[in-house]
Amino acid sequence: MATALELIRLAKGASLAVGLATSTQKNEALRQISLLLKARTDEIIAANALDVERGATDGLSQGLQDRLRLTEARIEALAAAVMEVVGLQDPIGDIVRGDTLPNGLKISEVRVPFGVIGAIYEARPNVTIDIASLAIKSGNAIVLRGGTAAENSNRVLVKLLQDGLLNAGLDPNAVQTVDDFGREGANEMMRAIGLIDVLIPRGGAGLIKAVIAESKVPVIQTGDGVVHVFIDESARVDWSVEIVLNSKTQRVSVCNTLETLLVHKNAAETVLPAVMQALKLKKVTIHGDESIVAAYPESLEATEDDWHAEYGSLDLAVKIVDSIDDALEHIAKYSTHHTESIVTDSQANAERFLAEVDSAVVVVNASTRFTDGGEFGFGAEVGISTQKLHARGPMGLRELTSTKWLVRGAGQVRS
């Protein structure tokens, strides 16, 4: 069996060919992958069932079990998402800017693939398809480390991806996995200077921090989501109920799920009761400050850890604040800079929130669950970047490209 480093080198060797592939060739590979997802659904579900069973036995949290599980409907959605990527404009070769200099030199900055992308993630077999599809469309090779929890699912999915490339006449080595090497495979990826151009971790805070700390390869940080909603004093009751409920309960295991609810003191009596009743019906456990516990005795008393928590479960931290200033101060202190939303009828407060909150996505009067590449029209997504270089927010095709300058002359020399 090849070593992890040898597999990474195979991806590097295939990166030039996939980088030079035409849009037609890349789209055909994606069409083949979409067809294979449908044709091999039973095989995928059988492999995934082994992972889910082991996860339950090993005490994997309900949130991670949900992320791990692949159903027929979820596989159908993955196949559809791949076809959405087919319909997206290929960014490779796009001219970002250009000019003709006074000496006649023609210069242009164009989009090019990174080359080889590495992805380290856990218990998320959907990411295997999402990130590989975007990598292929943007002309990149991809090396995957999908984690032990999903190893059976990912083994089937990676073979499917390679078969899709082969069916389209592209080098199947452009998709590789180092799952068989466990932690050492991830270590090889993090040391692969000159072979892997950028590394993208997706998962919990521990995984992301470990990759950032240990990687010698450049990292795009996709963040854990301590996500906030602030109910302003002017907020409408119906909007508040629907936005909080959707943000918290629509899917609790994902990074754009609401984790801390801030409520203006003037909305505590007018808006909050309806919100709390709706959360109670959904069996959400409240971790509240003193005011919340006094008004809703069934709540747990929040500790400092609760303001930092990304629960990934039906738990929610709730705090009463005196003003928008206090809400902004709390968000600045505890946010992981992922997504924050305000519910308000005040245009001034909405614009202030948009301007002052320093997060990748800032929302007015809508659910935090819209922070998603698919919802933003990117097809699939690589992840949600919470850093400021090289990308921020939902990452799609353009975020998997770099640029280079092309200079065309006619014998010019510099004086």
Query: What is the model's pLDDT at position 145?
Result: 97
Query: What is the model's pLDDT at position 378?
Result: 81
Query: What is the model's pLDDT at position 1?
Result: 76
Q: What is the mean pLDDT of residues 321-341?
A: 97
Sequence ranges of the chain with CATH classification 3.40.605.10: 4-222+382-408
Query: What is the model's pLDDT at position 381?
Result: 80
Structure token pair of residue 351? 């614009």
The answer, yes or no, to whether residue 104 has pLDDT greater than 80, is yes
Question: Measured between alpha carbons, how far is 24 from 92 in angstroms, rounded to an integer?
Answer: 12
Report percent pLDDT > 90 for the chain. 88
- For 74-102, the pLDDT digits (tens) are 999 999 999 999 999 999 999 999 999 99
Class of domain 4-222+382-408: alpha beta
Question: Measured between alpha carbons, how far is 264 from 240 in angstroms, rounded to an integer?
Answer: 12
User: 390: pLDDT confidence band, cut at 50, 70 and 90?
Assistant: confident
More confident residue, 304 or 254: 304
More confident residue, 62 or 394: 394
Query: What is the model's pLDDT at position 377?
Result: 83
Q: What is the mean pLDDT of residues 115-130?
A: 94
Query: What is the model's pLDDT at position 102?
Result: 97
Picking from 177-191, 202-216, 271-285, 361-375, which range would have the lowest pLDDT averaged per residue?
Answer: 202-216
Give φ, ψ of 290 to 5 degrees.
-60, -40
The answer, yes or no, to whether residue 203 has pLDDT greater than 90, is no
Sequence ranges of the chain with CATH classification 3.40.309.10: 227-370
CATH architecture of 227-370: 3-Layer(aba) Sandwich (3.40)
Q: What is the mean pLDDT of residues 142-152?
A: 95
The answer, yes or no, to whether residue 380 has pLDDT greater than 80, is no
Burial annotation 272-286 (CB, 10 A radius, 16+ → b, else e): beebbebbeeeebeb
Average pLDDT across the chain, whole number: 95
Q: What is the mean pLDDT of residues 154-168?
A: 98
The answer, yes or no, to whether residue 277 has pLDDT greater than 80, is yes
- For 334-358, the pLDDT digits (tens) are 999 999 999 999 999 999 999 999 9
